[in-house]
């Protein structure tokens, strides 16, 4: 992992973080918000490395001690990636860079209590101890209140970095005590370029994958040609749905509901197909499934704008039900029958 230049399409967050480092006035708590796969976790790790790097990267002016206790002679630079501290952070083995992730579907109060015990002690070897709490929106109320106590009385030489999709996903008393840094979706053009150059993906497919990723670079990496084949099957089934053929609708729903993650991927493809129909009426060149333009010319006429709005709502409710651990089969059957009826 190189330094901050490895974070794609996030000039403003990188500018803010490097300014904190150069001035030495680092807030005790940062909140990185943005969709999954835009570099929040990478930025947190690079920031921890930059605070503790022992190597000799490009020198910057010396910084003053801030609330985090950076030594006066510490020179901020891009992390060298090769010193003892950088290697430990890269391998997730540094004792003073603590990672907390959801246990199952939530971050439990026991995890925050364990963190409190660790933070009551001095850092083992780091100049600045860094705690990275990923998917902080998964904290239950009790865990959030326990973390609040840490934020109100931050330990010396310690920075907390929380990541979440939206600031509003956290309880307000926690988010208000963090410096929020917003990470934007990566541009479709940039994702397509990376897929083509780094992964050898055909430029046409790369553009489609980039559109399907909704600005998530890691999401684009997970899309494959196999998903395109599945997309074609999904669209074929959608276009032949009929409320008069209940048996076929239920058979389609059964195949959709075999796996939760697979179902969510299918919903995303279905959502894009209907979204492209809405866009095609006004800007044909801006659809995501650009390779299906010819099919779209005949298909979009079958759906009114109002019916498309209703379909989007049904997809949204199905997605919400799945993420709330609703019954997959029942959710799929309800969705398919609604889509056939609208």
Specify the residue for token string 């840094």: 181
pLDDT higher than 80, residue 38: yes
327 in helix, strand or coil?
A: coil
For 179, the token pair is 């410096």
Q: What is the pLDDT of residue 75?
A: 53
> Cα(40)–Cα(34) distance, rounded to whole angstroms?
8
* Whole-number Å distance between alpha carbons of 61 and 304: 61
pLDDT for 254: 94
Handedness of CA 254, 255, 258, 261 (dihedral sign): negative
C-alpha span between 241 and 194 (Å, rounded)? 37
Per the DSSP assignment, residues forming a β-bridge with 162 are: 31, 133
Average pLDDT, rounded, for the chain: 88
- The answer to whether 51 and 158 are in contact (CB under 8 A) is no
β 158-164/29-33 pair status: parallel
pLDDT, tens digit, for every residue of 278-303? 999 899 888 999 888 889 988 888 88
What band does 61 get if pLDDT is binned at 50, 70 and 90? Answer: very low
Residue entry with tokens 């095609």: 280
CB contact at 8 A, 31 and 173: no
**β-bridge partners, 179:** 30
Q: What is the pLDDT of residue 216?
A: 92
**Alpha-carbon distance 142 to 87, whole Å?**
35
Domains of the chain and any CATH numbers: 4-182 (3.40.50.300), 224-341 (1.20.272)
Please check the confidence at residue 63 and state whether its pLDDT lies above 60: no
- The predicted pLDDT at position 55 comes to 75
How far apart CA 186 and CA 13 sit, in angstroms, is: 13
Q: What is the tens place of the pLDDT at every residue in 115-144? A: 999 999 999 998 899 999 999 999 988 999
pLDDT tens-digit profile of 232-273? 899 999 988 888 899 999 999 999 999 888 898 899 899 999
Report the pLDDT averaged over residues 211-229: 82
Containing H/E element for 235? helix 225-239
| pLDDT of res. 66 | 45
Map tokens 């973080």 to a residue. Answer: 17
Say if residue 71's pLDDT is above 50.
yes
Give the residue, 65 or 181, on which the prediction is more confident: 181
Tokens 């600045």: give the residue.
128
Calculate mean pLDDT across residues 296-324: 91
The whole-number pLDDT of residue 76 equals 56
Model confidence at 339, in pLDDT bands (50, 70, 90)?
very high
Residue 16 pLDDT > 80: yes
| Structure confidence at residue 30 as a pLDDT band (50, 70, 90) | very high
Can you list the positions of beta strands (E) in the chain? Answer: 29-33, 97-100, 129-133, 158-164, 179-182
Residue 165 in this model has a pLDDT that exceeds 70: yes
Show Cβ contacts of residue 64 under 8 Å, excluding neighbours closer than 6 positions.
23, 24, 25, 70, 72
Q: Which is it for the CA torsion 73, 77, 81, 82, positive or negative?
A: negative
Could you tell me what percent of the chain has a pLDDT over 90? Answer: 57
pTM of the model: 0.78
Task: Report the C-alpha gap between 100 and 330 in whole angstroms.
Answer: 34
Residues paired with 234 in a beta bridge = none
Q: How does strand 97-100 pair with strand 158-164?
A: unpaired
Beta bridge partners, 32, equal 163, 181
User: For the segment 268-279, what is each residue's pLDDT rounded down to a tens digit?
Assistant: 899 999 999 999
pLDDT: which is higher, 2 or 269: 269
């Amino acid at each position: 992992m190189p330094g901050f230049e490895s974070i794609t399409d996030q000039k403003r967050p990188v500018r803010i973080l490097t300014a904190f480092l150069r001035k030495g006035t680092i807030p005790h708590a940062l909140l990185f918000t943005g969709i999954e796969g835009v570099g929040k976790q990478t930025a947190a790790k690079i920031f921890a490395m930059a605070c503790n790097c022992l190597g000799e990267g490009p020198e910057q002016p010396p910084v003053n001690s801030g609330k985090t206790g950076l030594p006066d002679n510490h020179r901020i630079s891009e992390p060298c990636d090769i010193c003892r501290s950088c290697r430990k952070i890269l391998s997730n083995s540094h004792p003073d860079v603590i990672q907390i992730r959801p246990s199952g579907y939530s971050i439990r109060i026991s995890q925050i209590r364990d963190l409190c015990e660790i933070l009551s002690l001095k850092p083992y070897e780091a100049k600045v101890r860094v705690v990275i709490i990923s998917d902080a929106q998964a904290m239950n109320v009790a865990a959030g209140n326990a973390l609040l106590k840490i934020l109100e009385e931050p330990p010396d030489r310690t920075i907390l970095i929380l990541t979440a999709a939206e600031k509003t996903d956290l309880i307000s008393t926690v988010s208000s005590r963090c410096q929020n840094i917003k990470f934007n979706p990566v541009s479709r053009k940039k994702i397509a370029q990376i897929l083509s150059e780094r992964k050898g993906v055909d430029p046409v497919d790369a553009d489609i994958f980039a559109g399907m990723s909704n600005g998530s670079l890691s999401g684009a990496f997970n899309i494959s040609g196999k998903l395109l084949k599945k997309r074609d099957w999904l669209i074929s089934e959608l276009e032949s749905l009929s409320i008069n053929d209940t048996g076929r609708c239920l058979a389609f729903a059964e195949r959709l509901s075999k796996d939760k993650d697979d179902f969510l991927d299918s919903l995303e493809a279905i959502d894009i197909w209907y979204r492209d129909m809405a866009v095609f009426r006004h800007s044909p060149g801006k659809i995501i499934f650009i390779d299906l333009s010819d099919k779209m010319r005949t298909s979009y006429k079958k759906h009114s704008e109002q019916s498309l709005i209703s379909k989007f709502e049904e997809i949204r409710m199905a997605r919400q039900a799945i993420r709330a651990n609703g019954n997959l089969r029942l959710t799929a059957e309800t969705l398919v029958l609604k889509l056939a009826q609208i």
